[in-house]
Amino acid sequence: MTPLDADALQAACTEAGGGWRVEVWPELPSTSDALKARAAREDAVGRIIFAESQTAGRGRRANRWASAPGQDLLFSLALRPPVEMALWPRVTTAAALAVCEAVEETLPLQPQIKWPNDIYLAGKKVAGLLTEVVHGVGGALVILGIGINGNGLELPEGLVALATSLRRECPEPIRSRGLDRTEIAVALLRHLMAARERLEAGFPAVMEAVRRRAWLMGQQVRLLHEGREMWGRVIDLDAEGQLVLMTAGGQRLALSSAEQVRAVEG
């Protein structure tokens, strides 16, 4: 495996002038936990921590995030969104779009966003985002953790039906050759920097681009919301990125979160 090129990642941030500082670690328990610990000691805004491997990677709702050492993209970024806190959930939406745009720019793939924060290829999960608000030195900030299944060809047996990697979905000769993870990460950092500017006036354009890539759009879903099971058809994503659902009983619901969402036949 070719290791991530820390200099190239830092150069992308420096060129864009955002003041972001990149670190690449061979192994960490979790990049998000490392950044949280950092935020408790210093003003961590603008720090980005990559790891080639995680021993205790975390997903949403205390799930474990498994990764292939040296194959995936695993990083966390500390930022203070330039909008009022009520609008911070926009960060997840804008970052999910940034992941799609970076993949589209660097590979012949068309990822989709499975609301609220999974990235899908060919109906399987290829990346996940974990957005957490923490109170650190200098006030509240967002720790945005992104995990992308990158260069791996093998997946744990239990995951093959549900997950994939960028490389697995690439056509030949890229599939045999493997991916340049640094190139994808550089594109992603650029798109994430641009995303900051789109959190205010640019957010309607973000939502338009997200709707075009919305995997659940038009699908019948079963979801768990605040412990209650619900069924309905996804009819839209509204201006704030909420999932708009028409229930079997004809009720229109807009949800800002759900514990679980599954597309079902129907």
- Binding segment toward ligand BTN, per CB under 6 A, in 72-80, 83-91, 170-178, 183-191: 72-80
- 58 or 168: whose CB is closer to ligand BTN? 58
Asked whether position 181 contacts ligand BTN by CB under 6 A, the answer is: no
DSSP element (H, E) containing 4: none
Output the DSSP codes for 82-104: SS-GGGTTHHHHHHHHHHHHHHH
> Which residue, 212, 155, 150, 154, is CA-closest to 187?
150
How far apart CA 67 and CA 77 sit, in angstroms, is 18
Asked whether position 152 contacts ligand BTN by CB under 6 A, the answer is: no
> Which residue, 151, 159, 180, 188, is CA-closest to 66?
159
* Strand duo 243-247 + 252-255: pairing: antiparallel
Interface with ligand BTN (CB under 6 A), residue from 130, 166, 187, 210: 130
Interface with ligand BTN (CB under 6 A), residue from 52, 101, 118, 169: 118
- 133 or 235: whose CB is closer to ligand BTN? 133
- 25 or 231: whose CB is closer to ligand BTN? 25
Asked whether position 101 contacts ligand BTN by CB under 6 A, the answer is: no
How far apart CA 93 and CA 88 sit, in angstroms, is 10
Residue 227 CB neighbour total at 10 angstroms:
6
- 177 or 262: whose CB is closer to ligand BTN? 262
- Binding segment toward ligand BTN, per CB under 6 A, in 68-76, 183-191, 202-210, 249-257: 68-76
Interface with ligand BTN (CB under 6 A), residue from 60, 80, 90, 167: 60
What is the per-residue binding string for ligand BTN in 217-256, x denoting contact by CB under 6 A? Answer: ----------------------------------------
DSSP element (H, E) containing 37: helix 31-41
For 164, the token pair is 């994939």
- Give the footprint of ligand BTN on this chain (CB under 6 A): 30-32, 54, 57-60, 63, 65, 74-76, 118, 128-130, 145-147
